[in-house]
Amino acid sequence: MRRIDGHTRLCGLIGNPVGHTVSPVIHNTLAEREGRNLVYVPFHVGEGQLKKAVEGAFALNALGLNVTVPYKSEVIGCLAEIDGIAEKIGAVNTLVRTGNGYKGYNTDATGLYRAMRSEGIRIEGEEILILGAGGAARAAAFLCVSKGAARIYIMNRTKEKAQKVAEEINGVFGRECAAALHLEDYGKLPPGRKYPAIQATSVGLYPGAEAAVIEDRAFYERIHTGFDLVYRPSCTRFMKLVRDAGGKAYHGLKMLLYQGVEAYELWNGVSVSEEDVLAVYDKMKETMGIEE
């Protein structure tokens, strides 16, 4: 049993809700394996209480925090500093303690990159489909272009929202690298090619596991590899449709893993070994009852 004493450092997750989180498994397992005197706990932060929560955590000497929905953008106004990448994305999921407050980072994007690379998914030079236009889709879009994607198509139920994200991406990178499409307009994609696709909506998330943003097999025949940011269930409807049409498909548990590992590294100034990363991943799957 781990010892908690007067030297124990505190990290945690703030959001609403937080009862479903698997993040404590990541950080507490890493701390235990490293022999680090650190504990990680979730904190439910009610509407209108975010600023107080961040200030309170700093006053209580908390080493760092993760931030989840619905506060990833709102928390920016509570920070002493913000990392350049997180500022461009417009969302923060990791707070690192500094002398006068917390500095905000976005490890969702870099975590997604490490997760995709671990599955052998190529970004450089690819044309990539991104389903959704919310915060997760923005992070995915920024990541893809920053890592050398030739072009991205942001597909959303509300094309205007997708258009806004595409314009922001084009403005940041100074080139026409992002285009917006309504979800039903996949027939307008250039013919004769297959794409990697990132499913960045909450559709298909447990308990609504039988849903997908697009059901038409013709769409999935255009995808050679699908990456769903949803990780529960372990085989989403999107993943099943990709596989049924002959493509490869992966869930988002490794993204959750790597964004957490990067947060842990930022808080503690360390580099987590691949052996520890794999041990944490096994522990996450065991906790969630996932078999691969």
Closest residue by Cα to residue 135 from 185, 92, 197: 92
Q: What is the separation, in whole angstroms, between the first and last Cα of the chain?
A: 29
Is position 88 annotated as part of the catalytic site? Answer: no
Closest residue by Cα to residue 93 from 21, 169, 148: 21
Question: How many whole angstroms separate alpha carbon 136 and alpha carbon 153?
Answer: 15
State the CB neighbour count (10 A cutoff) for residue 41. Answer: 14
Catalytic: which of 51, 52, 72, 88? 72
Q: Which residue has the tokens 């509407």?
A: 47
CA dihedral of residues 82, 84, 85, 86 (deg, nearest 10): 20
Q: Determine the angle formed by the axes of helices 274-288 and 23-34, rounding to 10 degrees.
A: 140
The beta strand positions in the chain, using DSSP E, are: 9-15, 38-44, 64-67, 81-82, 94-98, 101-105, 127-131, 151-156, 178-182, 195-199, 223-228, 248-250
Q: Which residue has the tokens 């905000």?
A: 104
Range list of H helices, 43-94: 50-59, 84-89
Which amino acids are annotated catalytic? 72
